[in-house]
Amino acid sequence: MKLEFDITPQEFKIVEEILSSHLTDNCQTWVFGSRVKNKALHNSDLDLALECKGNIPTNIIRQIKTAFEQSKLPYRVDVLDINAVEPYFRDIINQKKVCFPFEVKSKVPPLRFAEFDGEWERKSISDILTIGSGKDYKHLNNGDIPVYGTGGYMTSVDSFLYDGESVCIGRKGTIDKPVLINGKFWTVDTLFYTHSFIDLLPKFLFPLFKRINWKKYNEASGVPSLSKSTIERIKLSLPTKPEQQKIAAFLTAVDNKIEQLSKKQGLLSEYKKGVMQKIFSQTIRFKADDDSDFSDWKEKKLGGVCKVTTGKLDANAMVESGQYRFYTCAKEYYKIDDYAFDTDALIVSGNGANVGYIHHYQGKFNAYQRTYVLDNFTDNIIFVKFILDEYLHKRIVKEKNEGNTPYIVMGTLTDMKINLPSSLEQTKIANFLSSIDSKTEQVTKQLDNSKQFKKALLQQMFV
């Protein structure tokens, strides 16, 4: 968007934010004076004429002026109500005025519970709560009161700064990770806490704080920092307390579901890890369908179980709209126009951050030159993948020379010794572990969907 007055894009955003926070959608803003003539000096005033239906309340004009005075603009902003000035001055403004384009922020959320209506009220943080400063705790004795810093829990002491619900935000260091705390606690001097709330629920404040771009308010060129005065000037849109309670309760229910799914995902992962250790150490054994025992496991080299080759291409050979999969050493695959393999294979990352990561794919594909392709298996390919998932990384770490980045050579794979049961037991084990993977994938999908649902709610249920 090309502006018809002298102002930088960064300055435009500041002015737009202030105006949209205070004016209604039936108002128009005009720029007049030297900045319209394109002859403004760097520190020339920005002259704004506000035009609404009827006179603008004096307290709104005063709030806008105060916001500009407290902003980071490098010049003064003069604001007036065009309908409140003398006719001759209005005529002068009208002759040279240029529209300041901006969208007024809606005062109602796009998504709302049916029993609520009316506009949300815009308030400064200083009008709705008090910001408390953390303190040193080293003079205190050990106890059961948690001490928090910007990195989270630090220790426990025998005294507290606050008892109740509070939203905390970093003063220095990590300034963009608000946390909700409930109960007795102590914070160190790098972490602000909030208290003495006025018509505001901390559980509702927490998602509001998470929506704020805190880094925008950073006041330091080195370690990120916030001050009380800066936080207090930030404006938030608030509904009535009953609506706050309804929104907070709903989001809490969503958070509980996310927590339950995350816990279930972790339990499945731990269960699989534990059962794999017992299966591969032969602590537990499967039986045949007739309840007879399977034969003993036999040790083989991986090179005797499958063919091991590598890809031939550079990593940059990928094509965005290619027809076939192209495997590099990344966890995701890319696309390419031609294929070198048409097989059922395990594709192993040979170096980099994901060294030892294993894909399983059946079909036509191509591969990077540092990616190993394992195919032509004499044994169950899924069972072998589970074996490699369990033991390959340990082998890679064991072979790593001191100070060197881990990587795979051909012998890492071909000479790797693995224990194999009979083909029927391999199938039973592979099917059992695959069923756990399937359940984990379902839970992971539910978890991802729930997180996306919450993200959409945070965008739609707030102003």
Tell me the average pLDDT of the chain: 93
pLDDT score for 220: 86
Question: Which residues are catalytic, by number?
Answer: 45, 47
Return the minimum-mean-pLDDT range out of 59-68, 194-203, 275-284, 350-359: 59-68
Q: Look at the alpha carbons of 11, 12, 16, 19 in this order and tell me if their dihedral is positive or negative.
A: positive
pLDDT in tens, 392-426: 999 998 887 556 777 899 999 999 999 999 999 99
Q: Please name each of the domains of the chain with its CATH number.
A: 9-99 (3.30.460.10), 121-239 (3.90.220.20), 298-420 (3.90.220.20)
pLDDT score for 462: 94
Q: Residue 40 pLDDT > 70, yes or no? A: no
pLDDT score for 2: 66
Rounded CA separation 8/15 (Å): 11
pLDDT score for 37: 66
pTM value > 0.75: no
Q: Look at the alpha carbons of 286, 289, 295, 297 in this order and tell me if their dihedral is positive or negative.
A: negative
Please report where in the chains the tokens 């224990």 appear, as a residue. 419
Return the minimum-mean-pLDDT range out of 63-77, 259-273, 364-378, 406-420: 63-77
- Of the candidates 186, 174, 195, 182, the one whose C-alpha atom is nearest the C-alpha of residue 148 is 186
- Of the candidates 122, 153, 125, the one whose C-alpha atom is nearest the C-alpha of residue 137 is 153
> Percent helix, strand, coil in the chain (nearest 5)?
35, 25, 40
- Average pLDDT, integer, range 150-167: 97
pLDDT score for 140: 96
Rounded CA separation 412/377 (Å): 17
Q: Residue 298 pLDDT > 60, yes or no? A: yes
